[in-house]
């Protein structure tokens, strides 16, 4: 792919946020990462539509709603490659540990999962499944898009390592991300969902930074996305 191909940022964003078979961007530059951040909500549309489609097809086939919700969750995890879920469980082990910030940063690099990861991961999956059992078909799209817009907010914190996603994405095409996410605000409960996502993202990123000595990394961004999705689905469950 040519270095100046106009779709490089788009393909890079989709390769970072989804498991879709998109063209790979060789040797992405800092400018590529910065521009790719503007397309994160587009990845959310694709993930959310996949989950909504699974929910709708399962309902059309007459499957019980809990089964449909489980299939929608499976589609959600498959399309995201469990990347953000992995960040959530890794973050749980580090942030909940009764250790100093330097030790927590070391735990983030550990590939092994501890009790905090297992507990938080199981709770998050059960909560998302139960929410998918109670929301309308548009809710997964709204949640996935808003979460991938919200992840740009914690990127204002110092990055844990020069090669981290935030270090390479700042300042980012945030204006494009906002424009792409605007349509979901006009879905039922869109503004309530956006407020909950903003509050959750701000609180989670501030708390994580305080636990890690003022820095964040990719695992924390995955955690933020997962928590933002749950917040948006919670809002959608109230307006169905």
| Mean pLDDT of the 160-168 span | 57
Instruction: Write out pLDDT tens, residues 73-94.
Output: 999 999 999 999 999 999 999 9
Return the structure tokens found at 150: 């919200």
On average, the pLDDT of the chain sits at: 89
SS3 category, 216:
strand
User: Rounded distance, CA 127 to CA 129, Å?
Assistant: 5
Q: Can you give the pLDDT at residue 134?
A: 93
Instruction: Write out pLDDT tens, residues 215-234.
Output: 898 899 999 999 999 999 99
| Mean pLDDT of the 53-62 span | 95
31 Cβ partners below 8 Å, 6+ apart? none
CA dihedral 114, 44, 200, 214 (to 10 degrees): 60
Residue 25 scores a pLDDT above 70? yes
| Mean pLDDT of the 47-67 span | 96
């Amino acid at each position: 792919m040519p270095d100046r191909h106009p779709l490089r940022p788009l393909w890079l964003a989709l390769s970072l946020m989804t498991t879709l078979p998109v063209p790979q961007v060789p040797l992405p530059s800092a400018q590529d990462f910065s521009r790719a951040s503007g397309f994160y909500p587009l990845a959310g549309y694709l993930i959310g539509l996949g989950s909504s489609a699974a929910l709708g097809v399962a309902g059309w086939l007459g499957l019980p709603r809990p089964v449909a919700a489980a299939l929608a969750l499976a589609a959600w995890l498959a399309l995201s490659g469990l990347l953000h879920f992995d960040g959530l469980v890794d973050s749980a082990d580090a942030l909940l540990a009764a250790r100093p910030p330097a030790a927590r940063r070391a735990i983030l690099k550990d590939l092994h999962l501890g009790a905090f990861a297992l507990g938080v991961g199981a709770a998050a999956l059960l909560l998302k499944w139960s929410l998918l059992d109670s929301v309308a078909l548009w809710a997964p799209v709204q949640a996935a898009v808003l979460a991938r817009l919200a992840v740009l907010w914690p990127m204002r914190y110092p990055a844990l390592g020069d090669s981290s996603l935030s270090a390479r994405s700042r300042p980012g095409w945030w204006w494009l991300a906002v424009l792409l996410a605007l349509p979901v605000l006009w879905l039922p409960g869109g503004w309530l969902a956006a407020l909950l996502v903003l509050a959750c993202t701000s609180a989670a990123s501030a708390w994580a930074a305080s636990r890690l000595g003022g820095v964040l990394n990719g695992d924390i961004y995955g955690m933020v996305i997962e928590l933002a999705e749950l917040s948006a689905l919670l809002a959608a469950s109230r307006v169905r």
